[in-house]
Amino acid sequence: MGHETDDYPFSSEIATQLGNTLTNFEDEKYKNERLMLTERLMKKMSDNYVHYDASLFQNVMYVLTESQQWKEVATLLKELIQTEKVTPTSKTISYLKSNLVFSFENSVRLEVQEAIQEFERKFLIGKSR
């Protein structure tokens, strides 16, 4: 995620490949680096107004959830609700819901629950899954 050039502009395809690569680093010793790279990827996505495809959305949410970054989960969901630059799946939302029990801070858990509900209403309820 270095410097963008005219030959290789940052795109959804590149972001998806980076997201897929992040899931290859499951070992405990790589978790901090994986989170840092995920945060950089999210910033690049936001700065360049790049669309999250279903795979990238799943991978980013996986890394944030596994790292207990619930505030960031809520923030990203809210951003994506506003920008609509995401192709969500019910699988990812189900994953978030099932792991929300590991969010131990009540106020953050409630914020994430509200963001999930709003996200579902906007993107998933009434649509084929």
pLDDT tens figures, 106-123? 999 999 999 999 999 999
pTM greater than 0.85 (yes/no): yes
Look at residue 91 and tell me whether its pLDDT is greater than 90.
yes
List the one residue out of 92, 2, 1 whose CA is nearest residue 38: 1
Question: Please, which residues have CB within 8 angstroms of residue 80's CB and are 6 or more apart in sequence?
Answer: 52, 57, 86, 88, 119
Look at residue 128 and tell me whether its pLDDT is greater than 60.
no
Cα–Cα distance, 110 to 21 (Å, whole number): 31
Cα–Cα distance, 71 to 102 (Å, whole number): 13
* Average pLDDT of every residue of the chain: 91
Look at residue 74 and tell me whether its pLDDT is greater than 50.
yes
The ranges assigned to domains in the chain are 12-123
